[in-house]
């Protein structure tokens, strides 16, 4: 029962990210709304007191009803979606508080493994955002399992609850899971591996974590203080490596961190605790908030410390709860936890299925003297509804049928993007290879997809300056002739010095190669005196201006009054068919497209 409730809670917590990001009022408005949502689980206490023995059954019934209602809508309504996150947290806290501690810990970890399996099959796109029959089947099966298991569990002899008020520890644990420990998009991006490899590795880690959590109940070694200290050190080190050290070692650190977190979770929920729920709901909500919200908000409102501090705060909360001396019971059989892990091992089929069903890339086509370009800031896959909708992005690209696609604000596991790996999802859906340039924390950046041969690919960082976000570029050469680059520059209007440093670095990386195109969300307007001049001095012309579209806006799609998206080309290129696709409102920016005619190979370089 706890495992299924964990699956539902994780999905609803991911849903809350895009919904809270859409809250009006800027950063203060979003912050207040988020604070309200994650303080609301304090209601677990009066609910448990009023309903007593019926608390679990009633909260599960409300959760199931809300979840089914949410699937009806094309996009979860704002209030209903946030209510779902609150009820999901309350229900899980109430259930965990009523459970025997070891069973509760194993249930939460089994739920993590099952959640990873479901998300692997859907390419990290949660079914709550998807239309069609299959999402309804998945949702119906999950809700039926939650209701059926609750009914069956409550008919069994009551377990001696040992979690009680320490159930708050599920909050920071789920925060760490959503942010990176059980985030396959984060793992794929940070470790530079495919999505199935990332999901499979994390599922294996979660299954091992189930066994470790079960053994912590009756093994003196795992129940001792030394094991708790070692787990804290391993989780702290794993968090630092995973967040700060891209590469294969990040995947190893994630698996080690997940297992270490499992031991601390099991220790925290085990032993003898105060009965009832108390303020466990409030602690769970605030524990999740402290772990996730400041980390994400850092890129809009720097808080004066590196954002890695906030996941480490979640680690500290988990360690404080788990470092107490958990008394080991009598040595018992290993059967229960191994059977549970074995049952959940079915989740491993998901990445295998995803791997073997991955469609073959489309055959590359050589351009015939012309290349159709497409540039778009895709707002991390979230529409204005708001809805996480990568399919809408894919359909726009398919309809326009460009040769080279340059995208900005591509999210790979960001909470405000619903945890979606937009890069891997689009690459699979469009059957195209891609070049990924990480920015910010590595889970947000720029990418190039191409139907024509793309060689000499590369990525690079741009100067950080006044921040608050690291910026990057992606580059490649089309059919051995046209150099293409895409980027997303400093977004604060008043921070011209940082933007100019980034432009200088970008042009230096270009290196004077001709012909060339630089496109993206450059975050400056045509009327500004400095930034456009830097490109024109370097020998670039604006596709929008030379084709007579200079007065048209590119953002925001709700009320266009800005022109910050650009396609620049060297003067030896001829632009035609430029268009701002102002009928496309999937993102907060309109897509741009243009066709370039490549110069004759026989043209002497000095005449270009």
Q: Kindly state whether residue 365 falls inside one of the protein's structural domains.
A: no
Among the candidates 355, 388, 418, a domain finishes at 355
Measured from the Cβ of residue 388, the count of other Cβ atoms closer than 10 Å reads: 30
pLDDT above 90 covers a percentage of the chain that reads 79
331 and 470 share one domain: no
Could you tell me the two tokens for 540? 């670039």
Range of the domain at 171: 2-355
Give the model's pLDDT for residue 340: 85
Q: Which residue has the higher pLDDT, 481 or 479?
A: 481
Sheet containing strand 370-377, edge to edge, reads 434-439, 444-450, 404-411, 370-377, 592-597, 574-580
What average pLDDT does the structure give for the chain? Answer: 92
Give the model's pLDDT for residue 325: 52
Instruction: Give the residue from 385, 440, 455, 433 showing the smallest Cα distance to 410.
Output: 440
Q: Kindly state whether residue 214 falls inside one of the protein's structural domains.
A: yes
pLDDT tier at 479, thresholds 50, 70, 90 = confident
447 and 576 share one domain: yes
233 and 306 share one domain: yes
The helix (run of H) or strand (run of E) holding residue 550 is: none
pLDDT tier at 324, thresholds 50, 70, 90 = confident
Give the model's pLDDT for residue 507: 98
Give the model's pLDDT for residue 435: 97
Q: Is the pLDDT of residue 12 over 80?
A: yes
**3-class DSSP assignment, residue 484:** strand
Contacts (Cβ under 8 Å, ≥6 apart) of 411: 185, 380, 381, 417, 420, 421, 422, 443, 444
Q: Cα separation of 355 and 428, whole Å?
A: 11
Give the model's pLDDT for residue 608: 42
Pairing of β 370-377 and β 404-411: parallel
Could you tell me the two tokens for 62? 């409300």
Instruction: Give the residue from 376, 603, 356 showing the smallest Cα distance to 488.
Output: 376
Measured from the Cβ of residue 527, the count of other Cβ atoms closer than 10 Å reads: 7
Mean pLDDT (whole number) for 492-496: 88
Q: Kindly state whether residue 227 falls inside one of the protein's structural domains.
A: yes
Give the model's pLDDT for residue 200: 96
Task: Note the pTM of the prediction, 2 decimals.
Answer: 0.94
Give the model's pLDDT for residue 607: 42
Q: Please report, for residues 367, 378, 446, 555, the alpha-carbon distance to residue 405 in angstroms, rounded to integers and kept in the order given.
A: 14, 12, 11, 19
308 and 350 share one domain: yes
Q: Kindly state whether residue 363 falls inside one of the protein's structural domains.
A: no
**3-class DSSP assignment, residue 201:** helix
Q: Kindly state whether residue 184 falls inside one of the protein's structural domains.
A: yes
Q: Is the pLDDT of residue 604 over 50?
A: no
Give the model's pLDDT for residue 330: 46
Mean pLDDT (whole number) for 176-187: 97
Residue 240, burial from CB neighbour count under 10 angstroms (0-12, 13-18, 19+):
middle
122 and 167 share one domain: yes
Measured from the Cβ of residue 604, the count of other Cβ atoms closer than 10 Å reads: 6
Among the candidates 291, 326, 355, a domain finishes at 355
Give the model's pLDDT for residue 606: 43
Q: Cα separation of 554 and 536, whole Å?
A: 20
Distance of CA 565 to the CA centre of its chain: 24
Among the candidates 355, 380, 400, a domain finishes at 355
CA end-to-end distance (rounded Å), the chain: 70
Give the model's pLDDT for residue 301: 80
Give the model's pLDDT for residue 329: 52
Give the model's pLDDT for residue 510: 98
Give the model's pLDDT for residue 276: 82
CATH of the domain at 555: 3.60.10.10
- Whose tokens are 């007593």? That residue is 52
* CA contacts within 13 A on the Cβ side of 137: 4
pLDDT above 70 covers a percentage of the chain that reads 95
380 and 266 share one domain: no
468 and 518 share one domain: yes
Could you tell me the two tokens for 559? 């009320």
Q: Cα separation of 159 and 181, whole Å?
A: 30
Q: Kindly state whether residue 563 falls inside one of the protein's structural domains.
A: yes
Give the model's pLDDT for residue 100: 85
pLDDT tier at 332, thresholds 50, 70, 90 = very low
304 and 441 share one domain: no
Mean pLDDT (whole number) for 375-400: 96
Could you tell me the two tokens for 332? 């018992």
Q: What is the pLDDT of residues 205-256, one digit of tens each?
A: 999 999 999 888 777 677 778 889 999 999 999 999 999 999 999 999 999 9
Look at 321-325, 357-361, 476-480, 504-508 and tell me which has the smallest mean pLDDT.
321-325
Mean pLDDT (whole number) for 48-61: 94
Q: Kindly state whether residue 452 falls inside one of the protein's structural domains.
A: yes
pLDDT tier at 101, thresholds 50, 70, 90 = confident
Look at 129-138, 355-364, 564-573, 579-588 and tell me which has the smallest mean pLDDT.
355-364
399 and 276 share one domain: no
Cβ–Cβ under 8 Å, residues 427 and 58: no
Q: Is the pLDDT of residue 334 over 50?
A: no
317 and 394 share one domain: no
Instruction: Give the residue from 64, 180, 56 showing the smallest Cα distance to 112.
Output: 180
CATH of the domain at 199: 1.20.1250
Give the model's pLDDT for residue 605: 45
Mean pLDDT (whole number) for 118-144: 96
pLDDT tier at 127, thresholds 50, 70, 90 = very high
Q: What is the pLDDT of residues 265-280, one digit of tens each?
A: 999 998 666 778 999 9
416 and 462 share one domain: yes
Q: Kindly state whether residue 440 falls inside one of the protein's structural domains.
A: yes
The helix (run of H) or strand (run of E) holding residue 409 is: strand 404-411
502 and 565 share one domain: yes
Number of domains in the chain: 2
Give the model's pLDDT for residue 327: 52
CA angle at 170 for the pair 164 and 176, rounded to the nearest 5°? 165
Q: Cα separation of 15 and 58, whole Å?
A: 23
Cβ–Cβ under 8 Å, residues 402 and 434: no
């Amino acid at each position: 029962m706890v495992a299924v409730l964990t699956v539902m809670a994780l999905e609803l917590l991911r849903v809350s990210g895009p919904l809270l990001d859409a809250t009006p009022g800027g950063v203060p408005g979003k912050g207040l709304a988020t604070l309200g949502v994650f303080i609301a689980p304090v209601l677990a206490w009066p609910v448990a007191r009023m309903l007593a023995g019926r608390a679990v059954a009633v909260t599960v019934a409300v959760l199931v009803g809300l979840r089914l209602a949410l699937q009806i809508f094309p996009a979860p309504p704002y209030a209903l979606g946030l209510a779902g996150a609150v009820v999901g947290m309350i229900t899980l806290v109430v259930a965990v508080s009523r459970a025997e501690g070891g069973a509760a810990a194993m249930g939460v970890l089994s739920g993590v493994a099952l959640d990873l399996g479901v998300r692997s099959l859907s390419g990290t796109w949660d079914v709550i955002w998807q239309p069609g029959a299959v999402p309804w089947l998945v949702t119906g099966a999950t809700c039926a399992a939650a209701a059926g298991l609750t009914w069956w569990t409550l008919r069994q002899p009551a377990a001696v609850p040992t979690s009680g008020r320490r159930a708050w520890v599920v909050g920071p644990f789920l925060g760490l899971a959503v942010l990176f420990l059980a985030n396959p998009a984060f793992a794929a991006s940070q470790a530079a591996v495919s999505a199935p490899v990332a999901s499979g590795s994390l599922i294996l880690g979660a299954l091992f974590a189930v066994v470790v959590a079960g053994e912590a109940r009756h093994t003196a070694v795992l129940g001792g203080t030394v094991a708790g200290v070692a787990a804290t050190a391993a989780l702290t080190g794993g968090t630092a490596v995973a967040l700060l050290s891209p590469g294969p070692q990040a995947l190893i650190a994630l698996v080690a961190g997940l297992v270490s977190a499992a031991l601390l979770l099991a220790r925290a929920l085990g032993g003898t605790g105060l009965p009832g729920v108390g303020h466990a709901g409030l602690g769970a909500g605030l524990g999740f908030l402290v772990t996730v919200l400041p980390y994400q908000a850092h890129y809009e409102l720097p808080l004066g410390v590196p954002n890695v501090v906030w996941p480490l705060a979640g680690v500290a909360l988990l360690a404080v709860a788990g470092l107490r001396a958990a008394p080991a019971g009598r040595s018992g059989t290993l059967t229960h936890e191994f059977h549970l892990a074995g049952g959940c091992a079915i989740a491993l089929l998901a990445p295998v299925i995803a791997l073997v069903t991955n469609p073959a890339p489309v055959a590359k086509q050589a351009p015939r003297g012309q290349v159709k370009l497409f540039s778009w800031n895709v707002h991390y896959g979230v529409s204005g509804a708001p809805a996480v909708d990568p399919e809408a992005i894919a359909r726009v690209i398919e309809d326009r049928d460009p040769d080279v696609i340059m995208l900005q604000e591509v999210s790979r596991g960001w909470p405000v993007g619903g945890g979606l790996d937009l890069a891997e999802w689009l690459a699979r859906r469009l059957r195209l290879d891609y070049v990924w340039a990480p920015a910010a924390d590595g889970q947000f950046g720029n990418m190039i997809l191409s139907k024509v041969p793309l060689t000499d690919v590369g990525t690079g960082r741009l100067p950080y300056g006044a921040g608050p976000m690291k910026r990057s570029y992606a580059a490649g050469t089309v059919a051995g002739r046209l150099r293409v680059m895409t980027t997303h520059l400093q977004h604060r209007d008043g921070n011209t010095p940082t933007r100019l440093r980034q432009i200088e670095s970008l042009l230096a990386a270009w290196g004077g190669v001709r012909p060339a195109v630089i496109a993206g969300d450059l975050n400056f307007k045509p009327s500004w005196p400095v930034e456009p001049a830097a490109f024109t001095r370097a020998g670039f012309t604006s596709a929008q201006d030379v084709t007579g579209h200079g007065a048209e806006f590119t953002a925001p799609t709700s009320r266009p009054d800005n022109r910050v998206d650009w396609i620049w080309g060297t003067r030896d290129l001829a632009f035609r068919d430029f268009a701002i696709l102002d009928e496309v409102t999937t993102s907060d920016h309109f897509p741009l497209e243009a066709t370039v005619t490549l110069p004759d190979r026989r043209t002497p370089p000095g005449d270009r």
